Amino acid sequence: MKIEFPYTLNIPPPNMARSIISFFSFLSILSLLTLTPAVSALPLSTSSRWIVDESGQRVKLACVNWVSHLDTVVAEGLSKQPVDAIAKLIVSLGFNCVRLTWPLFLGTNETLAAVTVRQSFQSLGLLDSISGIQSNNPALVDLPLLKAYQAVVSSLGSNNVMVILDNHLSKPGWCCSNTDGNGFFGDQYFNPDLWITGLTRMATLFKGVSNVVGMSLRNELRGPKQNVNDWYKYMQRGAEAVHSANADVLVILSGLSFDTDLSFLAKRPVNLTFAGKTVFEVHWYGFSDGQAWQSGNPNQVCGQVYNNVKRKSGFLLEEGFPLFVSEFGADQRGTNVNDNRYLNCFMAAAAELDVDFALWTLVGSYYFREGVVGMEEYYGILNWDWSDIRNSSLTQRLSVLQSPLQGPGLSQSRMHKIIFHPATGLCLLKVGFLGPLKLGPCSQSGAWTYSSRKVLTLKGTYFCIQADELNKPAAVGILCTTTNSQWDIISDSKLHLQSKTTDGTEVCLDVDSSNTVVTSSCKCLSRDNSCDPASQWFKLVDSTINSTPTSPILEITSVVHMIEATN
């Protein structure tokens, strides 16, 4: 489908620095592994818990958050790189979607919307940023703020990137606190009628802009005024207003308590006049649970937190609604123990549920945040000057979440399991004739089955995973009736696979420094908060997507010949 825009921007070819060229060389390789299929059959709708295109095939929203709601009311990074280069970078990183934030006043205050980019930065004394935008995006610098916002959407569309417009707050600035006046209906800056007006205007403005596939009604409802009755009253009004103005977009509803709680929907569903467009969103961060991940045992915390997430929001998948994890993320320097442990658990949950998501954040630095000029964002994919990836191993690790594992139109094979290792983002592979078992790209994992006898067998063969000896590579065998072929899913996290060696020693699957799968003593199962069980965490994940093994798999007939030859 042709994408049409109400505003056309001609951007001169970017003058890329040598570091950027090197960066894109790396990304071009990475994209071969992570790039998701282009989406053309827009608009999107819902089919039970799935988001689908016009042909009824599932489209997984693999988004990244791009901030455009702070004091300048300009998408971050435009002083560092050309907008088209940023859009291409997003695609190269494997994302097919951007959650583009906006403040309500941009859509309701005509004076603000008419302020130019240059004037906005001048009012804050950000002269260096003006020079950067003049150099990298000269066609933007004298546009009104609303036109500049449209231009970013247009550039993303030109690169086949879907956009979700996220009303992040009312008054431009950093979000969020309980007392910032932006939290809930009736707060200082949150007039419900004005909010409806703003949603209607933005929905109307982007009607016919086909890469705008959804509108998130409001980010992180919170504060002392929040209550369920007003949630239904105003969120249903907002949903109806958006759908009336633009019936093409998905209407995305957030929950209470900083968008961590949708549990009230279990007893009282929303009552809307339209169907096939409703999506719910939830946020999940490590800091949502304070320092529990660092101070508690990771297995126990993961089990408790995951069960809480399912109780508060995950149940909606079973109720037949898509659930969009519109914010998650971690300190990408890799030194935050709380975030690292949380992210391992999150990766397992996100793969198991196969949810749509938006990573926080693309942004490597901000023009101006909370009074600080040029503040660095350590949750950002990019570094401070937007010239390189902050943590390439983490970026590659997330790539497994960017492609759907199942859903309408994607049943290439019968349901099977992939054996996912959250700490690396890789999957268990059988390499060669009789092994070894190693970690590798999930697209090459092969199909596994997990029988009622708790045997993990490579589909289409008689090969199963066996515990041979303690601290030795996991074995691959064909005699799969012994106890060393049975794997129990244990611990509060349900992420340990435990068996017994031939001498009765209890072991868990583990991974060594060469990514070889080994059997080690099970660790960190409970109480101890000083150790990290991440190397032993595996998740059996359902999939209907064909995979391409890295080496030939011995077929059943060959196994039969082997057995006959030994008799």
pLDDT for 27 beyond 70: no
Contacts by 505-508 with C-beta closer than 8 Å and gap 24+?
505/470, 507/467, 507/470, 508/536
Tokens 């998501």, residue located: 357
Contacts of 70 (CB under 8 A, 6+ apart): 76, 172, 173, 174, 366, 367, 368, 369
126 occurs within a structural domain:
yes
Q: Are 341 and 210 in the same domain?
A: yes
| Phi and psi angles of residue 477, each rounded to the nearest 5 degrees, phi first | -135, 175
pLDDT of the residue at 565: 38
**Residue 402 near residue 527 (C-beta atoms within 8 A):** no
Least confident of 22-26, 66-70, 266-270: 22-26
pLDDT of the residue at 270: 98
pLDDT of the residue at 413: 84
Q: Are 389 and 431 in the same domain?
A: no
pLDDT for 286 beyond 60: yes
Least confident of 31-40, 156-165, 186-195, 418-427: 31-40
DSSP string computed for 414-457? --EEEEEETTTTEEEEE-SSS--EEEE-GGG---EEE-TT-BEE
Q: Are 498 and 441 in the same domain?
A: yes
pLDDT of the residue at 175: 96
Q: Are 277 and 345 in the same domain?
A: yes
60 occurs within a structural domain:
no
Q: Are 316 and 367 in the same domain?
A: yes
Q: Are 463 and 356 in the same domain?
A: no
**Measured between alpha carbons, how far is 546 from 319 in angstroms, rounded to an integer?**
28
**Residue 72 near residue 124 (C-beta atoms within 8 A):** yes
pLDDT for 434 beyond 90: no
| Phi and psi angles of residue 226, each rounded to the nearest 5 degrees, phi first | -65, 140
Task: Select the more confidently predicted residue: 433 or 472.
Answer: 472
Buried b / exposed e over 297-334, threshold 16 CB at 10 Å, is bbbbbbbbbbebbeebbbbbbeeebbbbbbbbbbbbee
Q: What is the CATH number of the domain that holds 435?
A: 2.80.10.50
Q: Which residues pair with 250 in a beta bridge?
A: 214
Average pLDDT, the chain: 90
Q: Are 390 and 440 in the same domain?
A: no
Helix (H) or strand (E) holding 327: strand 323-328
Distances (CA, A) of 218 to 168, 223, 310: 6, 14, 22
**Measured between alpha carbons, how far is 224 from 209 in angstroms, rounded to an integer?**
37
Q: Are 240 and 374 in the same domain?
A: yes
pLDDT of the residue at 356: 98
124 occurs within a structural domain:
yes
474 occurs within a structural domain:
yes
Q: Are 349 and 442 in the same domain?
A: no
Of 401, 430, 448, the residue that ends a domain is 401
Q: Are 296 and 174 in the same domain?
A: yes
Instruction: Categorize the per-residue pLDDT at 379 as very low, low, confident or very high, splitting at 50, 70 and 90.
Output: very high
pLDDT for 15 beyond 90: no
pLDDT of the residue at 23: 36
**Measured between alpha carbons, how far is 519 from 413 in angstroms, rounded to an integer?**
30
The string of pLDDT tens digits covering residues 113-129 is: 999 999 999 999 999 99
Buried b / exposed e over 72-86, threshold 16 CB at 10 Å, is bbbbbbbbbbbbbbb
Average pLDDT over residues 377-392: 96
In one letter, which amino acid is 373? V
Alpha-carbon dihedral of residues 25, 380, 387, 149, nearest 10 degrees? 100
**Measured between alpha carbons, how far is 456 from 433 in angstroms, rounded to an integer?**
17
Least confident of 32-41, 288-297, 336-345, 439-448: 32-41
**Measured between alpha carbons, how far is 253 from 232 in angstroms, rounded to an integer?**
10
Of 342, 366, 401, the residue that ends a domain is 401
| Phi and psi angles of residue 230, each rounded to the nearest 5 degrees, phi first | -70, -30
CA angle 388, 391, 394 (to 5 degrees): 135
Average pLDDT over residues 348-373: 98
pLDDT of the residue at 40: 57
The two three-digit tokens of residue 497, written as one number: 């696979």
Contacts of 385 (CB under 8 A, 6+ apart): 80, 364, 365
191 occurs within a structural domain:
yes
pLDDT for 209 beyond 70: yes
Q: Are 132 and 206 in the same domain?
A: yes
Average pLDDT over residues 475-498: 96
The string of pLDDT tens digits covering residues 334-346 is: 999 999 999 999 9
pLDDT for 12 beyond 50: no
The two three-digit tokens of residue 16, written as one number: 């890329």
201 occurs within a structural domain:
yes
Count structural domains, the chain. 2
Strand pairing category for 496-500 and 506-511 = antiparallel
Of 372, 401, 430, the residue that ends a domain is 401
Average pLDDT over residues 358-380: 98
The string of pLDDT tens digits covering residues 50-103 is: 999 999 999 999 999 999 999 999 999 999 999 999 999 999 999 999 999 999
Q: Give the residue among 144, 155, 143, 146 at the shortest CA–CA distance from 201.
A: 146
**Measured between alpha carbons, how far is 198 from 168 in angstroms, rounded to an integer?**
12
**Measured between alpha carbons, how far is 331 from 347 in angstroms, rounded to an integer?**
15
**Residue 354 near residue 361 (C-beta atoms within 8 A):** no
Q: Are 391 and 438 in the same domain?
A: no
CB neighbours of residue 131 within 10 Å:
13
Q: pTM of the prediction?
A: 0.90
DSSP string computed for 4-16? --SS----PPP--
The two three-digit tokens of residue 465, written as one number: 């995973």
pLDDT of the residue at 453: 97
Q: What is the CATH number of the domain that holds 127?
A: 3.20.20.80
Sign of CA dihedral 444, 449, 450, 456: negative
The two three-digit tokens of residue 127, written as one number: 């002269």
- Domain residues for the domain of 219 are 83-401
505 occurs within a structural domain:
yes
452 occurs within a structural domain:
yes
CA angle 111, 116, 119 (to 5 degrees): 100
**Measured between alpha carbons, how far is 192 from 370 in angstroms, rounded to an integer?**
26
Instruction: Categorize the per-residue pLDDT at 549 as very low, low, confident or very high, splitting at 50, 70 and 90.
Output: low
Q: Is 62 helix (H, G, I), strand (E, B) or coil?
A: strand
pLDDT of the residue at 41: 78
Least confident of 1-15, 305-319, 486-500: 1-15
Peptide bond just before 464 cis, omega within 30 deg? no
pLDDT for 393 beyond 50: yes
pLDDT of the residue at 102: 98
Q: Which parts of 73-161 are beta strand (E)?
A: 97-103
Return left, alpha or beta for 94; rule: phi > 0 is left, psi -120 to 50 is alpha, else beta: left
